[in-house]
């Protein structure tokens, strides 16, 4: 390792440029690779991961030991750990991605125009994708597989705390590419832990077509602000369930409870419950008791607190900040609203435009809610926890986009592609 920082930085620049050039060249090869060849690579990678399980765990042990020494907290160490079960899960993920339909080359809407030409759109890879992620090593396999299947080359920059694990996984990926006769540069794992590499990657407009950061909000905000390459990003998940006064009580209880408590730390977990003031008060009381029993801390507006006054359930006063907070924890804010209009207004103001659900039996309100709520997923009588690539049938997801351009919501193989126009003529010219 060179001690001169200036030389180091220029080394990183040269190194990242080399990766970029190789990725661009490899993207041409993978862009035109046949589906069967891509699937063969994915299946060979999966097999190799299983065969190499001991090697992976040994590499992982190095990362875990270094992490413990650095004093990483238990949650981080848990995310970092590779067990036999997790390795099998990674391999299974690759096999599943191999089984998905290949989006590349699908031509849609090919039709004759009055001029005599045929015009349609062909689905094509984006080119080179840069993925920046934190401690989970399984992202290395998942992300590589999704990019490869969608015909893209990928440059992976994982967290420095997982460097040995990531390189061991990368070796299995390389093996799979080789077995299938694909260039190894289709999937490249950045080997330096120098942070300057991230800066180079997100500014490499010539070599990288899109950056996808996966990790905490801090990471994603920093990358979005500094990137010159377009970013598909996922910020907050401040999700709402609105219980309408025409809700079915049983559905309201099930959905509102599941949306909050099925998992606390996920972006599609409900953070604020909105309840119509004309809704059956019994629902609110029963729900509050269910949350309390589950250990969820409640914070409510004045009306909500008044309604629960004699219920025996404790509910703190919600502050303005609560409405704008993604707890990712067993905490729920509750607001009583006069009408669906007020609910939509609240959502428009505080939601992160991720996922919102209305509980109602009223057809017209359901129809309006679906049209007027501007979030990436809008639901009727369903748990916000369904906002997920697997549940939506994408087969897998690289993340959930909170952007408006290109892709909104769960991003699967199709979100890693674009469409070009194809025109078929027979000597046709413009008049």
Interaction of residue 71 with a copy of itself, rule CB under 8 A: no
Residues 110 and 42: their CA atoms lie apart, in Å, by: 31
Options 255, 298, 308, 343; binder of a copy of itself; rule CB under 8 A? 255
The span of 186-194, 307-315, 318-326, 421-429 binding a copy of itself (CB under 8 A) equals 421-429
Of 376-395, binders to a copy of itself (CB under 8 A) are 376-383, 385-387, 391-393
Interaction of residue 57 with a copy of itself, rule CB under 8 A: no
Residues 348 and 85: their CA atoms lie apart, in Å, by: 42
Options 375, 396, 398, 412; binder of a copy of itself; rule CB under 8 A? 375
- The enclosing H or E element of 411 equals strand 409-411
Residues 155 and 158: their CA atoms lie apart, in Å, by: 10
In this structure, are residues 96 and 395 in contact, taking their beta carbons and an 8 Å threshold? yes
Sign of CA dihedral 33, 36, 37, 42: positive
The span of 13-21, 304-312, 327-335, 366-374 binding a copy of itself (CB under 8 A) equals 366-374
Closest to a copy of itself by CB, 45 or 100: 100
Sign of CA dihedral 9, 15, 16, 17: positive
Options 28, 195, 294, 309; binder of a copy of itself; rule CB under 8 A? 28
The span of 61-69, 108-116, 314-322, 327-335 binding a copy of itself (CB under 8 A) equals 108-116
Burial label, 222 (beta-carbon count in 10 A; 0-12, 13-18, 19+): middle
How far is CA 5 from its chain centroid? 35
* Helical ranges in 180-246 per DSSP H: 196-202, 217-226
- Minimum CB separation of residue 270 from a copy of itself in Å reads 12
Interaction of residue 410 with a copy of itself, rule CB under 8 A: yes
Chain residues in the site for a copy of itself (CB under 8 A): 28, 31-32, 105, 111, 113, 115, 117, 119, 122, 124, 126-127, 209-210, 230, 232, 248, 250-251, 254-255, 257-259, 262, 348, 357, 368, 370-372, 374-383, 385-387, 391-393, 403-406, 408-410, 418-430
């Amino acid at each position: 390792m060179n001690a001169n920082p200036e030389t180091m930085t220029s080394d990183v620049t040269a190194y990242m440029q080399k990766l970029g050039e190789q990725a661009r060249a490899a993207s041409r090869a993978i862009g035109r690779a046949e589906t069967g060849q891509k699937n063969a690579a994915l299946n060979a990678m999966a097999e190799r991961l299983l065969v190499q399980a001991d090697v992976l765990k040994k590499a992982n042990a190095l990362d875990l030991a270094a992490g413990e020494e650095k004093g990483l907290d238990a949650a981080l160490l848990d995310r970092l750990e590779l067990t036999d079960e997790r390795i099998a899960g990674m391999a299974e993920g690759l096999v599943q991605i191999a089984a998905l339909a290949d989006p590349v080359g699908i031509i849609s809407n090919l039709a004759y125009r009055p001029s005599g030409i045929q015009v349609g759109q062909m689905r094509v890879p984006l080119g080179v994708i840069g993925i920046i992620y934190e401690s989970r090593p399984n992202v290395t396999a998942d992300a590589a597989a999704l990019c490869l299947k969608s015909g893209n080359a990928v440059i992976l920059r994982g967290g420095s705390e997982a460097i040995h694990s990531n390189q061991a996984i990368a070796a299995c990926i390389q093996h799979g590419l080789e077995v299938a006769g694909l260039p190894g540069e289709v999937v490249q794992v950045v080997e330096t832990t120098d942070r300057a590499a991230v800066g180079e990657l997100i500014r490499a407009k010539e070599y990288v077509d899109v950056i996808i950061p996966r990790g905490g909000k801090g990471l994603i905000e920093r990358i979005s602000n500094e990137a010159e390459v377009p970013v598909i990003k996922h910020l907050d998940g401040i999700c709402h369930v609105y219980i309408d006064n025409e809700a079915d009580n049983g559905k309201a209880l099930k959905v509102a409870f599941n949306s909050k408590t099925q998992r606390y730390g996920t972006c599609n977990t409900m953070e604020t419950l909105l309840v119509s003031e004309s809704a059956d008060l019994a629902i609110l009381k029963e729900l509050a008791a269910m949350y309390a029993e589950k250990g969820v801390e409640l914070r409510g507006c004045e009306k909500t607190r008044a309604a629960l006054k004699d219920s025996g359930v404790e509910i703190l006063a919600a502050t303005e900040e609560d409405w704008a907070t993604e707890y990712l924890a067993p905490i729920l804010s509750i607001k009583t609203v006069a009408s669906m209009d007020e609910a939509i207004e609240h959502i428009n103001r505080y939601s992160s435009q991720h996922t919102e659900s209305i509980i109602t039996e009223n057809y017209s309100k359901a129809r309006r809610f679906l049209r007027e709520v501007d979030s990436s997923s809008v639901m009727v009588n369903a748990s916000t926890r369904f906002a997920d690539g697997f549940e939506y049938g994408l087969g897998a997801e690289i993340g959930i986009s909170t952007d408006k351009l290109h892709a909104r919501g769960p991003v699967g193989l199709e979100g890693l592609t674009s469409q070009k126009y194809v025109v078929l003529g027979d000597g046709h010219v413009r008049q």
